[in-house]
Chain A
Amino acid sequence: MKSLIDITDLDTGEIDGLIADSLDIIAHPEKYARVCERKKLATLFFEPSTRTRLSFEAAMYELGGNVLSVAGSGTSSAAKGESVADTARVVSCYADIIAMRHPKEGAALVAAMNSSVPVINAGDGGHCHPTQTLADLLTVYREKGRLSGLTVGVCGDLKFGRTVHSLIGAMSRSDDMKFVLVSPAELKLPSYVKNETLKKRSIPYYQTEDLDSVMPELDILYMTRIQRERFFNEEDYLRLRDSYILTPEKLKRAKPDMCVMHPLPRVNEISVAVDDDPRACYFKQVLNGKYIRMALIIKLLREAGRL
């Protein structure tokens, strides 16, 4: 039975299929309004989240399904010390599919290994967040009309930024890609991502701390938040949090059709004044996230024989 733990669990054909299904959902929402009738999605969120949980729940409701929700480890069996494995075994008795967020890396994999229904990783610590990547890919496709031949700048926390790792993993499978990695020295992309993805596939890339100088060459600028919760040391967080702030002034050097993306929530890394710029795509990502989660829920339920 297929679960989605890491974006690489999906091959490029499956991602293309999910994008095509999402476009059909967008064009013909009425066709999908009762597809998941009498089916239940369990959302198990052991870490604070607003948009991802609501996105999954909205997706299931728009498919005509129902939602069982647990938000916060303090209100769940985890507070009593129940293991992730046991939680997954129990919840899969009630639900047809599970979306799970957990602060520990690898938690979703443990859930999938013990669940009798498909598990979707809705974020496991700083490790993976594959449905954010699917939302990003659908956004790129809708804005640029393709997923290949693009220069992608990723900026901010590239060390702990799971969305960046997944995005690079997914987009490096396309042709003619180039990546520009913009970060403070302390938050560079981990070497294993560079070695096992970019170098292994001979994808051109370079690292810099200077966002302004690379701005003119980018087709996509993917901004990320410096995440307080990933630091053990508050002083390091305070020192690095304002490393990059995108403003309308800085955008003047960008291509007129460049896309500014961000997985949200933002703190201050994109000025509110940028929101009115037609290149700002981060709120479109939110909507696209719901559509592609709808497509994903249908796909996994069908493959599990539950639709």
Chain B
Amino acid sequence: MNIDAIQNGVVIDHIKAGSGMKLCSLLGLDSTDLSVAIIRNVNSRKMGKKDIIKIDSLTSVNLDLIGYVDPGATVNIIRDGVLVKKLTLDTPDRLVNVIKCKNPRCITSCEQELPHVFRLADRAKREYRCIYCETRAG
């Protein structure tokens, strides 16, 4: 399979195999007009298999969301065919409007335009809790 190299755009690389579709959906890339390629199960020396997302546009992507879904992913910015920036991600300390609190008793269930904010409660377990009601994400 051959996907052309992009001239100006974003490549999300080193995504855990099988997570590419989910990440694409959470980033809203499945409902944009941008040219997006999801390449699944690519051979990788480091990871065995990996997924890659290529976006043929210098659009901004939510790094916190990518870090939340897969902290091992990398984000490469390509300009005029040249790699100009390579970002390695980490599990973010705070998530703002990345995931929603599912607790029906939480103030986020009724307060207009209140951002859904989660804090990293346990880094080892990658466990997040809503800052308002302490409910665990997921």
Task: Report A's interface with B, CB cutoff 8 A.
Answer: 83-85, 102-107, 109-110, 124-127, 192, 196
Known: A126-B105, A196-B121. A85 touches B132 (CB 8 A): no
- What string of 1s and 0s marks CB contacts (under 8 Å) between B62-87 and chain A? 00000000000000000000000000
CB-CB < 8 A to A105: which residues of B?
A: 103, 105-107, 132-135
Contact of B134 among A102, A104, A107, A192 (CB under 8 A): A192
Output the residue of A102, A106, A196 with the most chain B CB within 10 A: A106
CA distance A102 to B107 in the complex (A): 9
Query: Do residues A106 and B136 form an inter-chain contact, with CB atoms below 8 A?
Result: no
Query: Do residues B114 and A110 form an inter-chain contact, with CB atoms below 8 A?
Result: yes
Query: Do residues B129 and A104 form an inter-chain contact, with CB atoms below 8 A?
Result: no
CB-CB < 8 A to B121: which residues of A?
A: 192, 196
CA distance A85 to B132 in the complex (A): 13
Asked if B110 is at the interface of the complex by the 8 Å CB criterion, the answer is yes
Query: Do residues B131 and A104 form an inter-chain contact, with CB atoms below 8 A?
Result: no
Query: Do residues A104 and B109 form an inter-chain contact, with CB atoms below 8 A?
Result: yes
CB-CB < 8 A to A104: which residues of B?
A: 105-107, 109-111
CA distance A92 to B118 in the complex (A): 27
Task: Please give me the residue from chain B that is nearest to A128 by CB atom.
Answer: B134
Asked if B120 is at the interface of the complex by the 8 Å CB criterion, the answer is no
Query: Do residues A106 and B112 form an inter-chain contact, with CB atoms below 8 A?
Result: no
Main secondary structure of the interface of B (DSSP, over half): loop
Known: A84-B111, A125-B105, A126-B105. A106 touches B131 (CB 8 A): yes
CA distance A103 to B107 in the complex (A): 9
Smallest CB separation, A199 vs chain B (Å): 12
B112-138: which residues lie under 8 A (CB-CB) from chain A? 112, 114, 121, 129-136
Q: Could you list some 25 contacts between A and B, CB below 8 A?
A: A83-B111, A83-B112, A83-B114, A84-B107, A84-B111, A85-B111, A102-B107, A104-B105, A104-B106, A104-B107, A104-B109, A105-B103, A105-B105, A105-B106, A105-B133, A106-B108, A106-B132, A107-B107, A107-B132, A109-B132, A110-B132, A124-B107, A125-B133, A192-B134, A196-B121
Smallest CB separation, A287 vs chain B (Å): 31
CB-CB < 8 A to A124: which residues of B?
A: 107
Contact of A192 among B111, B112, B129 (CB under 8 A): B129
CB-CB < 8 A to A125: which residues of B?
A: 105, 133
Task: Please give me the residue from chain A that is nearest to B106 by CB atom.
Answer: A105
CB-CB < 8 A to A85: which residues of B?
A: 111, 114
Given contacts A104-B107, A104-B110, 11 further A-B contacts (CB under 8 A): A83-B111, A84-B111, A102-B107, A105-B103, A105-B106, A107-B132, A109-B131, A110-B111, A110-B132, A192-B134, A192-B136
CB-CB < 8 A to B109: which residues of A?
A: 104
Query: Do residues A106 and B129 form an inter-chain contact, with CB atoms below 8 A?
Result: no
Known: A106-B106, A192-B129. A127 touches B111 (CB 8 A): no
Smallest CB separation, B111 vs chain A (Å): 5
CB-CB < 8 A to A196: which residues of B?
A: 121
CA distance A104 to B110 in the complex (A): 9
